[in-house]
Amino acid sequence: MKPAPFRYIAASSVDHALALKAEHGDEARFLAGGQSLIPAMNFRLARPSVLIDINGLGELAGVERSESGEIRIGALTRYHSLERDSRFLTDCPLFADALPHIAHPQIRNRGTIGGNLSHADPASELPAIAVGMQARMRIRSAIGEREVPASEFFQGLLTTDIQNDEMLVEIAFPPPTGRTGACFMEVARRRGDFALAGVAAIVTIDAEGRCSQLRLALCGVGDRAVDASAAAASLIGQPCAGEVIETVAAEVQGMIDPPGNVHASPDYQRHIAGVLAQRAISAAFSRAGHAA
């Protein structure tokens, strides 16, 4: 398969890229890693008339930390750069768990975090991590910029809050906190396949070893990343163990409505989500204890 005809423009700066997007609107797409866009174009599921290549915009890549400890990742940062950044993986351990699950090394060498999040595939790991970590998305247009919480950024299947003249330029994650552990787990048919279900858990404990905060997000079980943190309310103030975790898993299973697919029925996805929730919470709680 070959893509439909299109015009190719290499952007010389972020302002140039945004001006082109303002000019061409929905007819234009940004080209970064191209790991999702190019296959879609080859199958003619996407037919942009203009491709704006932003690969030369180095200012959109890299990891920075603010004075407050907030971690900011440029949208053009590639997976392999994050995999090799030991300080980043220490500060954001969910990425350490999740990155090896994303496709294969060849894909991670080219794929970008901004491209992944902008594509908004509900089976992808990074949207769930962004929701679980309460990330903020910095979005720019030719006339200004704004920030959107990850929980509001993803609006449905392959749909985000990005408007036709805008581009995701940066993702901001809160600074790491003490006595906190995190874990990401998923089940897929084969290594590198999209998850049938995946769970990201972040547990913070108090001085007595009881859960003081728990964030829970799921991928693969809805039309977007699912924030299931409300299901963990019964764990607050208690050790993360035994029947309490089983109750949380049951709450998670009751609040999701998996779509099912050719590889897994909705009931199987719901079952896997519950099992993974138990395991991820237990692992995150254990890691929080070691971090205390």
pLDDT in tens, 130-179: 999 999 999 999 999 999 999 999 999 999 999 999 999 999 999 989 99
Instruction: Find the distance separating the first CA and the last CA of the chain, reported in whole Å.
Output: 54
CATH number among 3.40.50.10490, 1.10.1200.10, 2.160.10.10, 3.30.390.50, domain 180-287: 3.30.390.50
Give yes or no for residue 16 having a pLDDT over 90. yes
41-70 burial, b at 16+ Cβ within 10 Å, e below that, comes to beeeebebebbbebbebeebbebeeeeeee
Q: Where, residue-wise, is CATH 3.30.43.10 in the chain?
A: 7-53
| pTM listed for this prediction | 0.96
* CA dist list (Å): 166 to 97, 113, 140, 149, 170: 31, 16, 5, 16, 12
pLDDT digits (tens, 9 = 90+) for 235-288: 999 888 778 899 999 999 999 999 999 999 999 999 999 999 999 999 999 999
Q: Where, residue-wise, is CATH 3.30.465.10 in the chain?
A: 59-173
pLDDT digits (tens, 9 = 90+) for 48-94: 999 999 999 999 999 999 999 999 999 999 999 999 999 999 999 99
CATH topology of domain 7-53: 3.30.43
Quick one: pLDDT at residue 43?
A: 94
pLDDT digits (tens, 9 = 90+) for 63-75: 999 999 999 999 9
The two structure tokens encoding residue 235 = 């764990």
- The CATH number assigned to the domain with range 59-173 reads 3.30.465.10
Q: Which residues are bridge partners to 147 per DSSP?
A: 138
* CA dist list (Å): 243 to 57, 210, 240, 247: 51, 15, 9, 6
